[in-house]
Amino acid sequence: MRLFSTDHRTIARQYFFLSLAAVLAGVALSLLMRFHLVWPHASVGWFEKLWPVKAVGGVMTPELYLSLLTLHGTLMVFFVLTLAPMNAFANLVLPEQLGAKGMAFPRLNMLSFWIALASFVILIGSFLVADGGPLSGWTAYPPLSAVGAIAGPGEGLGQTLWFFSIGAFSISSMLTAINIIATVIDMRAPEMPLSKIPLTCWNWFATAILSLLSFPVLLAAGLLILLDRLAGTSFFVPEGLLIADAKIAHSGGSPLLWQHLFWFFGHPEVYIAILPGMGIISQVISNFARKPVFGRTAMIVSTFAIAFLGLLVWGHHMFISGLNPYSAIAFSALTMSIGVPSAVKTFNWIATAWGGGLEFTTAMLFALGFVSIFVTGGLSGIVLGQPQLDAYFHDTYFVVAHFHLIMGIAALFGIFAATSYWFPLMFGRVMDERLGKLHFYLTFVLSYTTFGPMHFAGFAGSPRRYADFTTFDFLAPLMPIQRWITWSAFALAAAQAIFLYNLFHSMRRGKLAPANPWKSESPEWTRDTEIWQR
């Protein structure tokens, strides 16, 4: 595998491994966070070795917890949920599915990957600077993210590097989006009109359009906030702000402006994470049910309906930010209307499987698991889409449960399904099915046991982003739930060792893949035999 390659399949594998590195780091961080939440005063020797300033005596400081939270969110949202479902798997099979020779702009494609990698390196670097990593979370709300080191350790150079990383990532994502859109429109084989292209291609196409429209907005917002930080402008910092007993010299900006710009990107980002997975599981379910996808046109229309509505609902992240109640009603109605195309999709997946000759391969199990998790996570979205209920739930674990299921676990199930399904196209071998199924059942059950109880913690008012629950009496009765979640999270993470073993073992020692192991009719399996000779 050449390092600087313009070959789309090589780039696909590069994205895959970048995402893998990010998800391993992200999971490790989440375990540290879960440990700290349950045993906040425990002294761990190697904590102090790792963070001599922020874990004096081996006990994590709240700042350290917040920086872990920030890195976890940023890694997972950008480098796992954005890169793996589209950049990795679209690069792998999109050209073959379209009958194209390759991506439209191979060199641009390579550039996208290397910018993404640079962004990853900068992000990791932002956590290794002397003051420690940024504390602002993946949403980086000003004013604290805009005023520099006075807002806390890590809010200086660390936060600046974080914004540079996200800016680079935005550019990389825009370039990928341009490549995918041009490939779908112009590179198709003559016998492959738009009416015939697989659903996966439609979903990557819709995702690319969302990337194209939302990442530039994040880039613009990032540029403005960097000027606030480095050049003394006041786009997002209000007048008369007092931080650490010092009056901040800025004047007249608006932190709410950032929230609007950020969530105009941030909400479509949710669909950037999930739409590719929907395409992937449509193909997988159809493949292993030995039936064409039920309601293909409805699937395409609902994909674009979700993408379009997804661009109009950013305000539901801001219900408690002092949003005008009338606009909250509009955002709420639009948000809940996303339930309609989502229900269309769910119905069609079930109808595709219904009466088919189901074959429960690992990929199929993860695809069906996706439907289950998607419905569960989606239902709590209907709850949170109502301003009155969100006022209570917004800062609780209910939201943590919601977005981890709908955006994190559902999208990860799509990634697992795609990994198992297209593994032969990546490495010429098949993954072990027995280990794959074991990994699925454990992951499926433990996902529910980890994130399910978070709903109850949220109902009971357990606040999110807190580093330590033990200092509040009213949270004491909830500690058993938190302890359960932590143990379950440890088990869930341990179950992923099966996947890792299966992945790396199958990569080198797995059974050699036959030409079309899943007896698929999709072009990437039937069209191109050249890859088997590599």
Chain residues in the site for another protein (CB under 8 A): 101, 104-106, 108, 174, 177-179, 181-183, 185-190, 193, 212-217, 219-221, 223-224, 227, 231-235, 239, 251-254, 257, 260-261, 264
Distance CA 362, CA 416 (A): 9
Residue with smaller CB distance to another protein, 44 or 108: 108
Identity of the residue, 35 or 141, whose beta carbon is nearer to another protein in the bound complex? 141
- For 253, the token pair is 């900006």
Which lies closer to another protein via its Cβ, residue 264 or residue 525? Answer: 264
Structure-block tokens of residue 163: 């914004």
338 contacts 310 by C-beta, under 8 angstroms: yes
Smallest distance from another protein to CB 318, Å: 13
| Rounded distance between C-alpha atoms, residue 84 and residue 18, angstroms | 9
Is the CB of 106 or the CB of 356 nearer to another protein?
106
Backbone angles phi, psi at 190, to 5 degrees: -60, -30
Compare residues 28 and 108 and give the one whose CB is closer to another protein.
Answer: 108
Q: How far is the CB of 91 from another protein (least distance, A)?
A: 16
Min dist CB 503 to another protein, Å, is 33
What does the alpha-carbon distance between residue 144 and residue 151 come to, in Å, rounded to a whole number? 5
In angstroms, rounded to a whole number, what is the distance separating the alpha carbons of residues 433 and 410?
A: 21
Nearer to another protein, 174 or 328 (CB): 174
Residues 6+ apart with CB under 8 A from 481: 453, 456, 457, 460, 462
Is residue 148 left, alpha or beta, with left meaning phi > 0 and alpha meaning psi from -120 to 50?
left
CB of 326 to another protein, least distance (A): 17
Length of the chain: 534
Q: Are β-strands 246-247 and 242-243 bridged in parallel, bridged antiparallel, or unpaired?
A: antiparallel
Query: Which letter does DSSP use for residue 255 in this model?
Result: H
Contact 217, 264 (CB under 8 A): yes
For another protein, which is the closer residue by CB, 239 or 359?
239
**Nearest distance from C-beta of residue 260 to another protein, angstroms:** 7
Rounded to a whole number of angstroms, the distance between the first and last alpha carbons of the chain is 10
CA distances in angstroms from 481 to 120, 317, 356, 462, listed in the order given:
34, 26, 40, 10
Nearer to another protein, 181 or 389 (CB): 181
What is the closest distance, in whole angstroms, from the C-beta atom of residue 183 to another protein in the complex?
7
CB-wise, 33 or 261, nearer to another protein?
261
Nearer to another protein, 141 or 456 (CB): 141
By CB atoms closer than 10 A (0-12, 13-18, 19+), residue 457 is buried
Q: Which of 173, 181, 186, 2 is nearest to 101 (CA)?
A: 186
Any residues with CB less than 8 A from the CB of 186 and at least 6 apart, and which?
A: 104
Closest approach, Cβ 154 to another protein, in A, equals 25
- Tell me the three state secondary structure of residue 46: helix
Tokens 């599981």 locate to 281
Structure-token match 């409805």, residue found: 298
CB of 181 to another protein, least distance (A): 5
Task: State the nearest-atom distance from the C-beta of 355 to another protein, in Å.
Answer: 37
Q: What is the DSSP letter of 463?
A: B
Give min distance, CB of 257 to another protein, in A.
Answer: 6
Nearest residue (CB) to another protein, 188 versus 345: 188
Task: Please state the closest distance from residue 84 (CB atom) to another protein, in A.
Answer: 22
83 alpha-carbon distance from chain centroid:
8
**Residue 430 · residue 506 · CB < 8 Å:** yes
